Amino acid sequence: MRWLWPILLLLMSLPAQAGNQATLFESAVEIGQTDRTLALSEQLLYRADPDRTLTAPLIAATGHALEWTQSPDAIPNLGLGAPPHWFTVRLANTSPEDWSGLLEMSYTMIDVLDVYVAHGGDVIKVAEIGDQRPFSNRLLAHRNFLVPITVPAQDSVRLIMLGESAGALKFPLDLWRMPAFFDHDQHALAPQILFAGIMLALVLYNFFLLLATRDWNYLWYVLSMVSISFVVMSFHGILAQYAWPNTPALNNPVLVGAISTNIFSATIFAYSFLNLKRFARWVAILFLGHSAAGALVFMLNLFLPYAITIKLAALFSVTGATMGICTGIYLWYRGEVLARFYTLAWFLLLAGSVTITFSHMGFLPSYLIFTHGQQIGAVAEGLLLSFALAYRINMERQQRFQAQADLLRVQTEANQQLEQKVQERTAELQAANEKLREASATDGLTQVRNRYFFDEKLAHEWQKNTRGNNQMSLLMIDGDHFKSINDTHGHRCGDAVLKQIAAILNASVQRAGDFVARYGGEEFTILLCHTDLQGAAIVAERICRTVESTPLDWEDKTIHFTVSIGVANQLPSRDSHPQGLLQQADEALYKAKENGRNRVMLYTQNGITAYP
């Protein structure tokens, strides 16, 4: 009897729990009278599916027997690294007319979102969207996830949704009438545009100051502004919609990269702007160490999963914020004017960053002040630091006025030194530009001219020769069976073959104005100015025979290879185009390949013929 009563009580409680669970699953949200918007988040039931054993049809059929949870918060927030979850809600329309509207998921960082509609025994997948899927998958081109929904008159449908994310798994879900949504969206888009405009103006203004002053503080400031703008626009889906809509794999790495870049630049800015090198060595270690940590997270972002790097970025943003604010308060207490600007500015920005980070990690609720605090803080920070930098310039200007008498005494010497440095820098820049032009026109493997140089040179020579009566010939050369060489002996051997072909071609061109170029892959071109078809054919035949008789010694093996050559010739005129010459040479090359390779074919007025 002592054990009987607990067992009876347990058995009595099981049907009641099952009954409550079934009632919870079968309850419906009335939408028939909704003429603007309805928040569905707090009406959602959800359950984890870490083993991926559930499906939408199974939930539609047996969901009343499953265990569901209803979020105590206005918006379900399952935190960082949560397993896949199923969400469901039944929508009832008791009005005499069909109800049509939009289902909006405003959390743009969710990786996978599958939306099903169950009605009358049928379960239809109506959307397969998410941050890690192409933007073209979205039913409506919008930064948020929108799904059109129709509920028949005096009927009901069940929404079944699968949500998955390597980051935080939040589920803010709203149901909108279409006119109300577009009216709301116009008002919601305006702050985004305003934020982007203000940040762009601040970045450009301070970038020009960087160019004018060569002050490294402006570089770190600009980098910080750009990176925090990327962070905010990532959180709000702007970059996913406009920057790389069909490359969703960039969304998570760009977010972590922007956060880590902001950590890197913000800590260096604080160290330089506040002149922290005058303090103890551990201060430099602390700030520059955080900057190095930001750079390290940026690099790890290229290799490690998003679930790991986002936690590292969040950790260093929190510790960096704390460190910067404490340092600013200390210097403010000591009476430093610049520290006042810095402390206020970075408190607003970093507080906004911390709140949105904690919100996405599930430590803070998804209130408007938390989800948009970063935008407010970023704009306020940008304005305050712009004032601070302007104030700093003004202080330096006053110091320059005080030192003007000394500067006048050494003005002549300074001007001479400056002129000499300008000349040296100009000479260095010219030399660097010349090396850069040479490098950009040269193929890195074969050291002959590349396709870019060839296209420009061909157009230039063609235009120049239209004023005279000089013929131009073009040889199109392609290595025979080059894929077989790569497959048999390896790509390093293939590269060596290409180098040897290029060397033979270079040795075959002697006159000024003629040149060899690597056109692409194993294909080369030789442009022969002031050369008729017969002369070009002789050169081509000589090249063909030289290549055939010059095998490559490779790792105790003798590699024999040949080339096929197509030759074309034209007289340039104002009414013709060099592309015609290219096409004729290419057709002749194709004919050489078709006729057995290791030969020369000429494009003539009577058709393509063999040479000799």
The catalytic site residues sit at 522
Q: What angle do CA 508, 513, 514 make, to 5 degrees?
A: 30
Cβ atoms within 10 Å, residue 276:
17
Pair 98, 153: CB distance under 8 Å? yes
What is the four-CA torsion angle of 540, 541, 543, 549, rounded to 10 degrees? 160
Angle between helices 251-273 and 306-333 (to 10 degrees): 20
Give 360: exposed, middle or buried? Use CB within 10 Å, 0-12, 13-18, 19+: buried
The span from the CA of 460 to the CA of 481, in Å, is 33
Pair 109, 235: CB distance under 8 Å? yes
Cis peptide before 365 (omega within 30 of 0): no
Cβ atoms within 10 Å, residue 184:
15
Angle between helices 251-273 and 281-300 (to 10 degrees): 160
> Tokens representing 565?
């050559």
Cβ atoms within 10 Å, residue 5:
9
> Tokens representing 306?
């998003």
Give 239: exposed, middle or buried? Use CB within 10 Å, 0-12, 13-18, 19+: buried
Pair 323, 349: CB distance under 8 Å? no
